[in-house]
Amino acid sequence: MSGFLKFAFEVLSQVVYNLVAWLAAFVKLFITGWAEYFTIFFTYFKTLDIIGKVLSVLLMLLLIAIPVLILVILIRHLILKHQLKADQVDNAVLYKEIGRLNKQVLSLMDEKNRILALKVNAMGGTERIPYVGASALTDDVLPTVGNVTAKRADGSVAEAGAASASSAAGNVIPGNVTVIGGDGSLAAAAASAALGETAAAAVEAVENAKAKAEADEKKKVIRFPKLALVDARYAVFQYPAYDNEISLEGFAEGYRLFAASQLHLYYTPEIIRRFIAGMASSKILILEGISGTGKTSLPYSISRYMGNPATMVSVQPSFRDRTELLGYFNEFSKRFNETEFLRALYEAGYRQDPTLIVLDEMNLARIEYYFAEMLSVLEMPSKEEWVLDLVPTAWAGDPKLMEGGKIHVTDTTWFIGTANNDDSTFTITDKVYDRAMPIELNDRADAFECELHEPCYIRAGYLQELFVRAREEHPVSDEMIEKMTRLDSYLATRFKLSFGNRIMKQLYDFIPVYVACGGTELGGMDYIIARKVLKKFESMNVSFVRDEITGLIDYMDKTFGKNGMPDSKAYLERIQQLY
């Protein structure tokens, strides 16, 4: 035994010695040994060359950095450990507070359910509906009168029903009579059925009261306050005396004199013809051109001339969908957030004269996004289908001209868009161009003096009668149709481009009205081809179009005459120079 103790003493002594030696070496390495390090450094530093001095300095800096880095890591570790401990304490407090709040929520739900049970019991007569409590929050089925009473099938409901049935029966069933079978099941079933009927009647009464309250509330709420003001205004509106004798040429010239004399706006007869003929061929007009040529003033002034000032809608870059134009229903306030566009669209139902709605700077946002629904609606062949859904159901206080939450787009409404072509705008797609009639304004008309000219109050119905009369009196000639057919064949062969059905319809509507306003048949044809057909060259292969344009110009000179198509040839030459 003494041998083992001697062995253990020597081994443990050596372990302790090594630990102490290791600790002493660690202290000397990182703390007390620096005096020796610097003594050696200064001893050799004087004898070293430049490179040796630099390397010796770098070596000493490296040796200093090692203990400093170890010290920083230790301090950082201690700080993180302290912060983690503090966060754990805070989380524990937070969890306790959340638990306390959950208990309060359950307590409040309990109280609410007690109040609801008392209300239903008060309406249901002598039969009592058992209280469910906060445990209903964990049930898969919502508590109703039926399933609440069904849950207590252990006899308590039956007993209450039996007692109720006995008291209701009076002299018919004695209180201690023995029921057939001895277990009371038949009486319990009868009492339960009576209780179910009473409870169902109570629930129905609550639902009827709720529906009546909602109906009364709907009668009080005016969802469309702006449209309600329109109804009130036109209830006493006095319509002016309309001119039913004026011709299209007189209408066009009268507007030119009115704009010059009263608004100091000047337009050439050619621009006015194109605008009126555009109204005959499409419900959507796009006015393009450089700034300052009167794109916005043209529809504004012509609407003043007709006695129904246009509604100006400034398109914003943020426009994304139909709600930007039509508005939306606010579920919180139970009101519809109406826009000026919606008001003008609704008011057009009361007006007999044309209504112009101007979308100023319409290509600041993507037209096919925010105006997509209007483009689709106006394509419907039957004008009875020109309707827009605003709300899913009708309320008692809705506007008079709204049917089933829908608003009708009248045939007396035109949408006029102004567009600039610069870096801040989007390109107008073919989908929009095909449905619209573009009118280009790049030149200013010269000012002139004239006598004061009065407005011309004209009904939209009469204006459309003039359009029909123009198609009858100035139909497109067979010679012009034959030339157009030859040009269509040439474009289809060389450019894989042809006149579509929509363009043909617009052409047959545009040219007669253009002629009736004082223009020529060839001038109207020239404009339609330049703006509706040749414009598609902009989306075709650049080099291919450039090489074939010269041949197309020569073909048009042979077909329509050397001076017959100035607009189309000028447009082709501009494309050729641009590419």
Tokens of residue 160, six digits: 């209450």
Q: H or E stretch including 408?
A: strand 406-408
Could you please report the per-residue DSSP string of 448-477? ------------HHHHHHHHHHHHHHSPPP
pTM of the model: 0.64
| Other CB atoms within 10 Å distance of the CB of residue 163 | 12
Q: Nearest CA to 176 among 185, 184, 555?
A: 184
pLDDT attached to residue 177 = 39
Backbone phi, psi, residue 30, to 5°: -105, -15
342-352 pLDDT, tens digit each:
999 999 999 99
Measured CA distances, 492 to 514, 524, 539, 544 (Å): 27, 22, 16, 14
pLDDT attached to residue 22 = 84
pLDDT attached to residue 419 = 93
> Sign of dihedral through CA atoms 129, 130, 131, 137?
negative
Give yes or no for a contact between 470 and 451, defined as CB atoms under 8 angstroms apart: no
234-243 pLDDT, tens digit each:
999 999 999 9
pLDDT less than 50: residues of the chain: 125-129, 131-143, 145, 148-184
pLDDT attached to residue 501 = 87
pLDDT attached to residue 291 = 83
Rounded to whole angstroms, the Cα distance separating 46 from 332 reads: 87
Tokens of residue 111, six digits: 């109280």
